[in-house]
Amino acid sequence: MKKLADEIQQMQDKAQKDLQAKQEVVFGPIEKKLNDAVEKVSKANGYEYVMDANSPAFLYKAGTDATAAVKKELGIQ
């Protein structure tokens, strides 16, 4: 029974690693495009910091919202 549990755990670990690798392949280009657009908008508007409003990281809400400019740079509405 222990051997079977170990095999199942190994298969789960491999599946998790495979999933992470596939996510990196799929989302990598999207993330790069988004980061490039944020960087371009930031430089054009003189922003030193751009925070993700969905992140628990520090966020100053009274600042300028760059969302519309980044969406425009990406060509989305």
Count of helix runs (H) and strand runs (E) in the chain: 2, 0
> What's residue 51's pLDDT?
81
**Reported pTM:** 0.65
User: Which long-range contacts does 36-42 make (Cβ < 8 Å, 24+ apart)?
Assistant: 37/70, 37/73, 37/74, 38/66, 38/70, 40/73, 41/66, 41/69, 41/70, 41/73, 42/66
Counted residue by residue, the chain has a size of 77
> What's residue 4's pLDDT?
94
**pLDDT of the chain, 77 residues: tens digit per residue:** 999 999 999 999 999 999 999 999 999 999 999 999 999 999 999 988 888 777 776 655 667 888 889 899 999 97
